[in-house]
Amino acid sequence: MLSLVGNAKNAGKTTVLGALLTAHPHLRPGITSIGLDGEDLDTVSFLPKPQITLSPGALVATAEGCLKQSDFAWQMLERTGIMTGLGEIVIVQAQTAGACLVGGPSSVKAMEQVVDSLLRLGADKVFIDGAFARSSHAAAGEALIYVAGAHQGPDMRRVADNADYALRRFSLPAVDESLRFLAREQRPGWVDNQGAFHPIDAASALGQAQQVLDQVPPDAPWLYLPGAAGPEFVRRFVQQRDRHRCGLILVDGLSIVAGDDALRHLFLMERPLRVLRPLRVAFVAANPYSPSGRRFDNAAFLAALRAVTDLTVINVLEDDAIAPNE
């Protein structure tokens, strides 16, 4: 399974998906989205965007209402029972080539159900196309492709810095095996030097950041958050670093929900950050073009991104090929 995560609306995720499908014509793909993708005009910016083009035999999981706006012949394979504002998510097989409007489920749990169904029905590989810069769907995939698009802003350096922080977040290492028991815990808590867990009197760190931090002993080696580490928590965790020495354990890198400045200060602390569910970034796709007309120099943009990561960075529209095992 591959999830596509963009740095902004109109980053170029759908274009990258199209390039992947073109590069692997013998695959029987399963395609879905964590929202609405494939419309002629973006529903927020009203800028033109590419459609998702299917080949005969491809499987797609989309809201039933989206099929009425698609121009390919299809055969119904399965109803999932997952309801959206555009109708039930159904799985169909393309009988002819054509453009598809894909509106998939909106939660990770529902996405996992859809992915399981696509694989059971015969998809060789499942591609999850993100919508509106959302990255929660990456948790349902085995690997993700990070799409860095020029549409995020006019400053190439800032776009590259944003990619740096995002990729660090997505690449956090797994906890030691001795701490994997934390996956069973539903409340925040701290871990002592003997590996024992001590729950905190707070349902989560959201809206209770100070309450959580006040209950962590100064010498505790770890603080576990089963939910999100939001902007307020990250800010207070950094500001109060002299009051504690703990590292953070999170469910996955997507649990850190904070802006670039907060992430920069968090990483500068050099506290250990670990996750129960590590993500794998397959490669970084660079899109130097914005549908608004702005563009970066391709070579300069590739160099800027390669300066912040050791991962493979390519422009899928200009590089020769995407490796078959990506």
Instruction: CATH number of the domain at 23, please.
Output: 3.40.50
Whole-angstrom distance, CA of residue 49 vs CA of residue 129: 14
195 and 301 together in one domain: no
CB count within 10 Å of CB 261 equals 12
Question: Residue 302 falls within a domain, yes or no?
Answer: yes
Which element (helix H / strand E) includes 17? Answer: helix 13-23
Inside any domain, residue 13: yes
Kindly state whether residue 67 falls inside one of the protein's structural domains. Answer: yes
pLDDT, position 319 = 64
The helix/strand/coil state of 42 is coil
Asked whether residue 143 falls in the same domain as residue 86, the answer is yes
Q: Is 295 within a domain?
A: yes
One domain, residues 139 and 157: yes
Residues 110 and 205 in one domain: no
Pair (207, 305) in one structural domain: no
In angstroms, the Cα distances linking 227 to 21, 57, 185, 255, 325 are 35, 39, 11, 7, 33
For residues 124 and 265, state if they share a domain. no
Task: Establish if 257 belongs to a structural domain.
Answer: yes
Q: Which two tokens stand for residue 104?
A: 């998939």
Q: Residue with structure tokens 């989560």?
A: 204
Q: Which residues contact 214 (CB under 8 A, 6 or more apart)?
A: none
Q: Find the helix or strand (DSSP H, E) in which 210 lies.
A: helix 209-214
**Number of domains forming the structure of the chain:** 2
| Spatial distance between the Cα atoms of 66 and 103, rounded to a whole number of angstroms | 7
Query: Can you tell me the distance from the alpha carbon of 28 to that of 236, in angstroms, rounded to the nearest whole number?
Result: 48
d(CA 104, CA 128): 9
For residues 308 and 253, state if they share a domain: no
Same-domain pairing of 269 and 295: no
For residue 181, the enclosing domain spans 177-275
Note whether residue 321 is domain-resident.
Answer: no
- If asked whether residues 46 and 122 sit together in one domain, one would say yes
**Quick one: tokens of 322?**
């995407």
Structural domain includes residue 322: no
Using CA atoms, how far apart are residues 39 and 220, in angstroms rounded to an integer?
Answer: 50
Dist CA 260 CA 163 (whole Å): 10
DSSP H helical ranges for 196-230: 209-214
SS3 174: strand
Residue 326 inside a domain? The answer is no
| pLDDT tens per residue across all 326 residues of the chain | 889 999 988 898 888 998 889 888 889 999 998 866 544 434 444 333 456 889 999 999 999 998 988 899 999 999 999 998 889 999 999 999 999 888 888 888 899 999 999 999 999 999 998 743 445 545 555 789 999 999 999 999 999 999 999 999 999 999 999 999 999 999 999 999 999 999 999 999 999 999 999 999 999 999 999 999 999 999 999 999 999 999 999 999 989 999 889 999 999 999 999 999 999 999 999 999 988 888 999 999 999 999 999 999 999 877 654 544 44
DSSP state of 140: G
51 and 67 belong to one structural domain: yes
pTM: predicted TM-score of the whole model, two decimal places: 0.85
| 65 and 154 together in one domain | yes
Are both 110 and 217 inside the same structural domain?
no
DSSP 297: -
Q: Long-range contacts for 76-83 (Cβ within 8 Å, ≥24 apart)?
A: 77/121, 78/117, 78/121, 80/113, 80/114, 80/117, 82/110, 82/113, 82/114
